[in-house]
Homo-oligomer: A and B are copies of this chain.
Amino acid sequence: MNYEEGKHKFIQAWGALGSSWGINKVMAQIHALLLISPKSLTTDDIMDELKISRGNANMNIRALMDWGIVEKELIVGERKDHYRAGKDIWELARQVSRERRKREIEPILKVLGEVQDVKGKSDEVKEFKTVTSDLKDFSSKIDGALDKFTRSDKNWFFKILLKL
């Protein structure tokens, strides 16, 4: 397989994976492109590679920076902004966990906490409280585990993972 073919395949697959995990396809593709690029890229580079507009590129690059997985790199003597993605997959996973915890787990835990004080003793209310309470317990445990994960040492965690 030649490089262009492999690159294309990887970028497409990463985009598709993003989509099924609730991440904009182009955002995931830009990330894929930066991941495999040995040097940082400009907005124009990204527009050319992915055949997308300036506005689209700009907005998705910003979203990637908001997620904390892409950053600007200042190149001396260059006017244009350059962007790069961290190459450490472990660090990437950590950052994504951190963000998703904050954006998605925390809000649902909040709701699950709030609905605990529903009033009544009917079967419906009993079932509602049991299920939402179980869900809250489970989510809290996952949340705690992810918190540990995002703070832990890489090698220690891999050891645990393999020991499972």
Contacts and interface: CB of A to CB of B under 8 A. Distances in A.
A22 interface: yes
Interface stretch (A55-63, A65-73, A75-83, A155-163): A155-163
A111 B10 contact: yes
A3 B134 contact: no
Contacts of A22: 19-22
Main SS at interface, chain A: helix
A130 B87 CA distance: 9
A7 to B, nearest CB: 7
Number of copies: 2
Contact of A134 (B9, B17, B89, B104): B89
Interface in A92-129: 93, 103-104, 107-108, 111-112, 114-115, 117-120, 122-128
Given A10-B115, A22-B19, A124 B3 contact: yes
A9 B111 contact: yes
B38 A107 contact: no
A132 to B, nearest CB: 6
A125 to B, nearest CB: 5
B158 A3 contact: no
B89 A132 contact: no
Given A104-B17, A126-B38, A128-B3, A145 B120 contact: no
